[in-house]
Structure 1
């Protein structure tokens, strides 16, 4: 028994010495939490993510068998270990630099993978990755390379769905290329517009569209009816009508990042937008993205520059367009708030069936604008466009 333990530790030391020589980071991945996904499927997808992380060339990934053996020696039960604090505890036992934890959830036909890269020494989240995909569990395999690339700080090709036609079924991935940019761009800082609560928003003209340059904060519909503020996670999950929340139910975030709204509030007939404005459709979002050069580069021109609000490195951020996108995080279907500083998410008014709708999101590690589907019960930021 002692000899077995010694051999395992020598093996780990050898692995980490090789990593040091190649400037790679030693990491371990704990099994992702499955939400409406079986334990076996969650485990299989976690294994696939381990392989994808290794293929980035940035990480030395501790194999599941070695990790299980070490934790067994220490008398540690990995089952139910989903929090960052637990991941750090596991990382200390495994003597790795960073840990990867996350979840795989399913709402209707849409799967969502979210991953966090946590530093073991300080317990801080130093990276994040996410992918949303409509299909079956096998299709999720195809987006895990994107999650791995995001965790590695690379720039994955964004995933989306092509336009549906009667002749063919949509695939889950398309390659999105930067579009040729016009020589003369129109970026005009406008005045302000106020909502029914008296909140003031700076505006900007981008091409032929007028956009709010700030996230919506309103708590009443245009006719004066209150939008419910739902703080309870169970209540949030069961909603089929409009509601809003504040990130982590903390009002201190509102002045900078605005509020988070479910899709039902976004499309309520009483109107969430000020008079003369509306929540953009999927097509209107794409008009903006195309004008700014296409999916691969538009995010950089939309993101607020610097790292005051966006987490480092905030790659490509120039805010040349004046859109001033901020990373307000989101509230998921289960009521959990996450990823403020890493991601900004904005609803479109366009649905895709009874359960999901289109949205756009930006990420601190690249310049992409991502188009994806999410549950209508998720809480995202809202920007409005002029009528």
Structure 2
């Protein structure tokens, strides 16, 4: 049978079975919003489309979540959320996977601190092997640059000169800043009743994981279940 006919029939049966939705010529699975080729995600709540990137064994949204809630704040085409808004009444989790859907679309979840650690650890090993260097500072700088977008980061002054703060987007994560100096992503993991653990990329080409007040607003990247 002609290949085009086979593809057409497959898509027809996919839609007929109620398993998918078509948007702009792509077909998306109703269970998790993934396109048939696995490269994009359709959030059925607001019809927003996101690129998807696989890094190691994880499938990440390659863009910041843009889903608008009553208390989210828009900044540079990014929605920022308090930790409570992010979690949607779910309890703190540091498991792999976190099992916290929170504000993420169906079939996706808010990554735990342990899952952010898995991402960073995987990239540290990858970079250490690729540049053949065990200089921790250089490796961390290369990882940070590789996670950041190639544009959008304002230069910073290091007391001697202006320095380019843009990344290389080597890994396709494409993180844009939400301020002049950083982008923070919440995890599903709290430190205590008042504080939680975000993951942060800085203008100075570093990665930070620290404790922050749950009332602060950070971005969200969702992980596929």
* TM-score (norm: length of structure 1): 0.38
1:311 equivalent to 2:151? Answer: no
**C-alpha displacement of 1:190:** 4.5
Equivalent pair of 1:263/1:378 in contact (CA under 8 Å): yes
Secondary structure at 1:296 match in 2: helix
Match of 1:278 among 96, 109, 114: 109
Aligned equivalents of 1:341 and 1:190: distance in 2?
33
Which has the greater radius of gyration? 1
The residue that corresponds to 1:351 in the other structure is 190
Counterpart CA distance in 1 for 2:176 and 2:42 is 19
3-state SS of the aligned residue for 1:203? Answer: strand
Aligned to 1:218: 67
2:199 alignment counterpart = 360
**1:310 Cα deviation from its structure 2 partner:** 0.7
Structure 2: runs of 5+ lacking an equivalent: 1-36, 91-100, 126-138, 156-162
Q: State the secondary structure of the residue aligned to 2:70.
A: coil
How far 1:351 moved relative to its partner?
0.3
Question: Where does 1:1-387 land on structure 2 (aligned, <5 Å)?
Answer: 190-195=38-43, 196-219=45-68, 227-229=69-71, 244-247=72-75, 253-254=76-77, 258-268=78-88, 269=90, 271-293=102-124, 296-297=140-141, 298-305=143-150, 308-312=151-155, 313-315=163-165, 317-328=167-178, 340-366=179-205, 368-387=206-225
How far did residue 382 of structure 1 move? Answer: 0.6
Give yes or no for contact 1:327–1:343 (8 Å, CA) kept in 2: yes
RCO comparison, higher one (Cα < 8 Å, 6+): 2
CA RMSD of aligned residues (A): 1.9
Q: Which has the higher helix share?
A: 1
Q: Where does structure 1 lack aligned partners over 5 or more consecutive residues?
A: 1-188, 220-226, 230-243, 248-252, 329-339
CA distance in 1, matches of 2:223, 2:117: 13
Tell me how far apart the structure 2 counterparts of residues 246 and 353 of structure 1 sit (CA, whole Å).
27
How many correspondences in the alignment? 156
